[in-house]
Amino acid sequence: MPNMVAKCVFKLWARVLYNRASGAMGNPKVFVLLENKMPQVKQINHVAVVVDNMEKALSFWRDALGMELHELRDVPAEKSQVAFLPLPGSEVELVMPTTDDSGIAKYLAKRGAGMHHICLEVDDIEGMMAQLRSKGVRLINEEPRTAADGKKYAFIHPESTSGVLVELYQI
């Protein structure tokens, strides 16, 4: 029982300090809003398409559609090569495996080229993952991974999303 009381007092004190630092102490409405803030989806960050031949895919996306190729990057952690084709407020990513044993290669072998995942940008990836876990959503990554550019990301299993692989991204 004393341990439980200590936890409650600590949480309350942490909220008071946070509200003091954010200037919300004098406004009870702000206190309630801060206390109940849930992580939010901000926007669709990108749509990823898995390809078996990057040049062939670029001949459509870049050459036929006229989309600008911003960057072609090797991603060793995911054993893939990614082409970034930006659009206003989002982008298309073309993803090609660089090894036969990568997750992308296994996906390609099982399902073929095509739509791979949709990426949702969130304001608090750890909070969003905790919220999803509490609702019984199956996550592929138990903890967020960190990309080379410092962005955090994690995947939600398609079993929980009506068959769509969903990536969470915090910039």
Q: What's 75's domain CATH number?
A: 3.10.180.10
Residues 96 and 16 in one domain: no
Structural domain of 106: 41-170
Which percentage of the chain shows pLDDT scores above 90? 75
Residues 117 and 162 in one domain: yes
Specify the amino acid at residue 121: E
> Higher model confidence: residue 84 or residue 35?
84
pLDDT at 34 over 70: no
Residues 88 and 112 in one domain: yes
Which percentage of the chain shows pLDDT scores above 70? 79
- What's the pLDDT at 46? 97
Q: Tell me the pTM.
A: 0.75
- What's the pLDDT at 23? 54
pLDDT at 71 over 70: yes
Residues 52 and 8 in one domain: no
Tally of domains in the chain: 2
Residues 23 and 83 in one domain: no
Residues 45 and 31 in one domain: no
Residues 103 and 29 in one domain: no
pLDDT at 32 over 80: no
pLDDT at 21 over 80: no
- What's the pLDDT at 80? 97
Residues 13 and 83 in one domain: no
**pLDDT class of 10 with cuts at 50, 70, 90:** very low
Residues 123 and 66 in one domain: yes
